[in-house]
Structure 1
Amino acid sequence: MTIEHVRISLTLERLWQFSLQYYSVREVKEACLQLQNQFHGNVNLLLLLKWLDEQQVSFRDEDWHKVEECLGRSEALLHSFRELRRKAKVHLPDTLYRESLQFELQLEKQQQSDLVDCMNSLQLTNNQSEPLTLRYCRQLGGEHLFQAFSEPAPTQVNQ
């Protein structure tokens, strides 16, 4: 069997809009937060993997480390800011807390930009095996969470 390389049109805006819509599903949001808080997973990576699953596209096994490395630049900063925001919540006025949430969203978007750049540098193929989201959940020890990600994403315009 030959592996056919595929090209996709992945942009930051496309991934961001997909993520906002997909994350708005209550079960998905809850599973994402559980993946993040209990299994130390990366929600942006999971959202990217779900987008790739929806396109039936994958990357080579040997490229997993490249994908995880591209998170390195932003993950420590995002994690530290998230912890600081959580601790400061009780001490901050509502408006300042909402501003801190908006800033965190900007950090999330920057991380997605890093992921998009990384993905666009890899050779992608048609996914002939299990979904990437299942592989990621299993890798983290949270395979049971995959159920929340197994349904197709809600359809959206300009996907």
Structure 2
Amino acid sequence: MNKQTRPLLTLDQLWQFSLQYYSAREIKEACLHLQNHFHGNVNLLLTLKWLDEAQLTFAPQDWSTLTHSLTHIDALLRDYRDLRRKLKAQVSDALYKETLHFELQLEKQQQTALVNCINTLELNPCETPQLVEQYCLQLGAERLARIFIQPVQAHYHTP
């Protein structure tokens, strides 16, 4: 990427999108189910959802590049998450909140790796985005795919 080219996706864009999308109860529950029962990566799913919403896709061979960008922090994040869960009943609420805050910082680092990777890929317009669906199918989470493939607006109720 040359210096005059602006990155397509920034960490702030992805982080804000993720916070908003994840705030819908149905999405949060589905993300946690994907993570806990299918060993899915929620940050990868959120990145793929952002791409689907932007109607962008990448070449099939780029899946491995994207998943490889997560390897250095994924094991750390999983181990930390397991430790935090074990400590929950043994630490004060204030300390537990600190552990959650630290986990969020690790999540943000993982999103940084994803943004950096996405910005190196050749992205192409796509009228019918299917990245989230493909990811769910790879994990064997077809039922969850039906939740995630709905447009973002479908998850927010207007008064």
Give your verdict on TM over 0.5. yes
Q: Contact conserved, 1:21 with 1:154, CA < 8 A, in 2?
A: no
Aligned partner of 1:90 in structure 2 is 89
Structure number with greater CO (CA < 8 Å, separation at least 6) is: 1
Deviations 1:1-31 (A, max 9, x none): xxxxxx9730000000000000001111111
Where 2:152 maps in the other structure, the secondary structure is: coil
Deviations 1:48-81 (A, max 9, x none): 0000000000010001000000000110110000
Q: 1:127 deviation in Å?
A: 2.1
Q: 1:154 deviation in Å?
A: 3.6
Letter in 1 for 2:131: L
Between stretches 24-33 and 145-154, larger displacement belongs to: 145-154
Aligned length: 149
Aligned partner of 1:51 in structure 2 is 50
Q: 1:138 deviation in Å?
A: 0.2
Q: Mark the runs of 5 or more structure 1 residues left unpaired by the alignment.
A: 1-6
Q: Following TM superposition, where does structure 1 have runs of at least 4 consecutive aligned residues deviating by more than 4 angstroms?
A: none
Q: Contact conserved, 2:22 with 2:28, CA < 8 A, in 1?
A: yes
Q: Contact conserved, 2:57 with 2:129, CA < 8 A, in 1?
A: no
Q: Contact conserved, 1:16 with 1:109, CA < 8 A, in 2?
A: yes
Q: Contact conserved, 1:16 with 1:112, CA < 8 A, in 2?
A: yes
Q: Mark the runs of 5 or more structure 2 residues left unpaired by the alignment.
A: 1-5, 155-159
- Work out the percentage of aligned pairs sharing the same amino acid: 56
Where 2:8 maps in the other structure, the secondary structure is: coil
Aligned partner of 2:19 in structure 1 is 20
Between stretches 63-72 and 141-150, larger displacement belongs to: 141-150
Q: Contact conserved, 1:59 with 1:125, CA < 8 A, in 2?
A: yes
State the alpha-carbon separation in 1 of the partners of residues 73 and 7 from structure 2: 24
The answer to whether residue 150 in structure 2 is matched with residue 148 in structure 1 is no
User: What is the RMSD computed on CA atoms of the aligned residues?
Assistant: 1.5
Aligned partner of 2:69 in structure 1 is 70
With normalisation by structure 2, the TM-score equals 0.90
With normalisation by structure 1, the TM-score equals 0.90
